[in-house]
Structure 1
Amino acid sequence: MNTIAIVDYGMGNFHSVARALQAAAPDADVRICNQAHDIDQASRVVFPGQGAMPDCMRTLNESGLREAVVRAARSKPLLGVCVGEQMLFTESEEGYVPCLDIFRGQVKRFAGPQYATGAQENQEHELLKIPHMGWNRVQHVKDHALWAGIPDNSHFYFVHSYYVEPEDSDLTVGVSHYGIGFTCAIAAANIFAVQFHPEKSAEHGLRLYRNFVDWRP
């Protein structure tokens, strides 16, 4: 049986991810896990996250699951989602907290004159609002098994104010654009991670989850 552990450290939409995985792969054993042993025993791991980075890292550390996530990242297929993707990198501008440092790079906030802030939001309606919320195209900059059956430039659903900036550009397998072009999907060895929410992205999101379940890195 293909056992999929969804890491429940207290900061993520675990039940929505579980329902999407069950719909995409009814033959898989999908479990929401808050014990390290269960994560260690799973065939593959989904690492979601939502909320402020300082809260996510604090809660992950306090949950006792941090090392189980690191072990999974070294040994089995792992899918990071939203803040779960960001937490894989070195540090975040959000609270300037250290993250898991599995990949070298920063988590950056959307910033610049193209974004609405404060009074500008009431005066300049053409400015982009933060957080970036809604459907956006994702361009495949590299082939990958998790893109199978998903057309290039398909729409996925985003909710975020921060994005990853890897030191190694070879990690980037998908990009999107919101005022600037930004990395929204990364991959290396047994890890694939995305900024968008597959569980909120209709048929293409379900296909990505199905691809993850079938993936043999």
Structure 2
Amino acid sequence: MITIIDYGMGNLRSVQKGFERVGFAAKVTADPADLRDAEKLVLPGVGAFKDCMDNLREGGFIEPIRRHVESGRPFLGICLGLQLLFSESEEFGRHQGLGIIPGKVVRFPGDLRVAGEELKVPHMGWNQIRLRQDAPLFRGVADGSAVYFVHSYYVIPDDPTVVAAVTDYGIEFCSAIRRENVMATQFHPEKSQQVGLRILKNFGEM
């Protein structure tokens, strides 16, 4: 069973439907006690970093998430669920994250350009990933595959070896990470058609 955390901010049903489409049972839960026995855990997220951390804290999810990660069971963060894994974010101030992956979350510069053309922030739409690890999450996914993004902030890991994929948007940024059982994507697999479904299937098979 794949457990999806409902802390009031996330594209929960579409993530659940994505797993169901590739043959895996997935449940959405707002009860932190359900995380104790979760075989695989998914942390989605949309919205502001501080609000999400506040909701995780108030919902009693922070320690269960950390215990799950420490147990070695598979964990997947999606979009803001990637950013929340990091030490801190500069979104609307400076706010502490879960601290599972050392590093920070920063905003795209305001002067991004490609071939003289100004790029808009948020980064929204389809873009390519370039794989940096032979990560099980990307088994069968071709280097250069297109996936769907919606974000204004990106992560900078302290340890570059956790970077599983990068993407170009005026600058090169980390678009996926993997450290042992912890995996996370800045893009939305549940919105990334066949490539995204393959990624969800790979996670379900772990």
Q: TM-score range by the shorter chain?
A: over 0.9
Q: TM-score, normalised by structure 1?
A: 0.90
Equivalences for 1:119-198 in 2 at 5 Å?
A: 126-198=117-189
Equivalences for 1:21-170 in 2 at 5 Å?
A: 21-24=19-22, 26=23, 28-75=24-71, 76-95=73-92, 96-114=94-112, 126-170=117-161
Identity score, percent: 45
Please report how far the alpha carbon of residue 112 of structure 1 lies from its aligned counterpart in structure 2 after TM superposition. Answer: 4.4
Partner SS state of residue 104, structure 1 = strand
The answer as to whether partners of 2:111 and 2:119 remain within 8 angstroms in 1 is no
Please report how far the alpha carbon of residue 113 of structure 1 lies from its aligned counterpart in structure 2 after TM superposition. Answer: 2.3
Q: Which runs of 5+ in 1 are unaligned?
A: 116-124
Q: Which amino acid aligns with 1:86?
A: Q
| 1:64-85 CA distance string (max 9 Å, x none) | 1111111112121000000000
Q: Which amino acid aligns with 1:199?
A: E
Match of 2:9 in 1: 11
Question: How many matched pairs?
Answer: 202
Partner SS state of residue 91, structure 1 = strand
Q: Which runs of 4+ in 1 moved over 6 A?
A: none
Structure-2 separation of matches of 1:151 and 1:114: 27
| 1:166-193 CA distance string (max 9 Å, x none) | 0000000100010100001100111110
The answer as to whether partners of 2:147 and 2:189 remain within 8 angstroms in 1 is yes
Q: TM-score, normalised by structure 2?
A: 0.95
Q: Which amino acid aligns with 1:59?
A: N
